[in-house]
Amino acid sequence: MSIKKILVVDDELGIRELLRDILIDEGFEIFVAENATEARELKKNKMPDLILLDIWMPDCDGITLLKEWVNEKFMTSPVVMMSGHGTIDTALEATKIGAFDFLEKPITLQKLLKTVNEALKHANNLPKIEINLLNIGKSEVIQDLKKRLDKLISLKTPLLLVGPQGGCAKICAQYLHPKNQPWIDVKDFEVVSNAPADLLDQHRGGSIFLNEISHLTKSQQKGLNLLISKAANYDVRIICATSKSLTQENDVDFDERILNELLPGSLLLPSINEHKEDIPELASSILTMHLTKSDKSEYKVFDVAALNMMRGMNWLGDIEELESFVFNLMQTSLLEKITAEDVKRVANQFNLLHDKSKTSKRSKGNKDEGLGDIFNKSLRDARDEFERMYFKHHLNQDDQSMSKLSEVSGVERTHLYRKLKQLGIKVK
């Protein structure tokens, strides 16, 4: 069994030393902080199993600090408040906010150890930490996104989130989801076509989230249309997301009825590359999240150079790629501190995988080098590009003879002139 870590936060030196000595004798690893600034840093870097937090501190009171941690939705450990001036009202306020318990000074040895042991047992029942809208960043981009979502949060109308693959669509959907109500992230689209009514009935008052709806087949689109049309009867909100155009890039034509319902409530989401200033804090949060999920993981922390390097990188797979990247660093770095060299090593590995993926796609779909980047375009743009290449080829072959071009292409001459003008091809 690993040694439990306790963070003691108190502005009085005598109290800090007394609690530290008592708890060390009980076999705990102890960290001490005399103010909120030190407490924030130690909480982030040492990930204590329990925090003993004084209410009265010079730079920021304990209640305010507790609210800060709770509002960030990144509580990694139970908090026990301490005060020599505490009242019943203060104790109740602290516990309502999220504190596990309250200790009034002077603290007796028996009461201290009883509360500490109970709090540590409680820690095993804390919900697993997940990345959410409140901890993915504090930049203007994220604050603007939050304001727009706040305007939509009380509505039940269908919503379409448009953003990069691997981005924050699900995070935003969960932010809009009403607390303590049924939630489902639909992974198997077949349920949408086979049992849409059951899906609605099972999630009354809650939310149904469907990601990457450009992949829906015709029958699945019919199911989605039914979900949208009947959702109000079940007090269910339908939240969809896509990283592709629903009108151009999907293999199956998208139902216009669905588009008409979703587009009025559509919202464009930023990519992580649009708010890179958030990456250092987000990467640290992801690392903490994975460390708290695994009892077997050794403690790790990023050095400043590593965080700055990740900030400067281009994240093609957005937040999901950053999470995979951080998890790899946690698993493969040899030292407690994850360095810039570690980041370089894993970046080279990820770039190699990206390159192989691109090569594989080219080899499967683009055997004719003359087609260039056509397979990376939307179907409409690809068709226009091919037609442009086709007509230019035959015009050059036949010395710009429109009669020959009409004959070989099978396109009536009047229509051909119109087509060439549309494609931007000038004819002498």
Q: What is the pLDDT of residue 127?
A: 58
Whether residues 265 and 152 fall in one domain = yes
215 inside domain: yes
Task: Examine the fold and report which residue of 244, 270, 296 is the final residue of a domain before the chain moves on.
Answer: 270
Same domain, 111 and 212: no
Q: CA–CA separation, 361 vs 359, rounded Å?
A: 5
Enumerate residue ranges in the chain where pLDDT < 50. Answer: 359-370, 372
Place of tokens 């690893």: 29
187 and 118 part of one domain: no
pLDDT in tens, 120-131: 988 766 656 678
Task: Please indicate, yes or no, if residue 128 is contained in any of the structural domains.
Answer: no
Count of CB atoms situated within 10 Å of the CB of 273:
14
State which residues form the domain around 415.
371-422
Check residue 379 and give its pLDDT.
63
Query: Which pLDDT does position 3 carry in this prediction?
Result: 85
Residue 382 lies in a domain: yes
Whole-number pLDDT of residue 147: 94
Tell me which H or E stretch contains 101. strand 101-104
Residue type, 311: R
Residue 303 DSSP one-character state: -
The predicted pLDDT at position 7 comes to 96
Determine the pLDDT at residue 369. 42
Question: Does 107 map to a domain?
Answer: yes
Task: Quote the pLDDT of residue 69.
Answer: 84
Q: Which alpha helices (H) appear in 245-303, and where do they start and end? A: 256-262, 279-293
Relative orientation angle of helices 88-97 and 62-71, to the nearest 10 degrees: 20
* Total count of domains within the chain: 4
Residue 39, pLDDT score: 93
Residue 30's pLDDT is 96
Q: What is the DSSP string of 157-191?
A: S-EEEE--TTSSHHHHHHHHSPTTS-EEEE--THH
Contact between residue 75 and residue 100 where contact means Cβ atoms under 8 Å apart = no
Q: How many degrees, rounded to 5, is the angle at CA 186 between CA 185 and CA 191?
A: 155
- Of 235, 253, 270, the last residue of a domain is 270
pLDDT of amino acid 301:
86
Peptide bond into 106 cis (omega under 30): yes
Same-domain pairing of 256 and 293? no
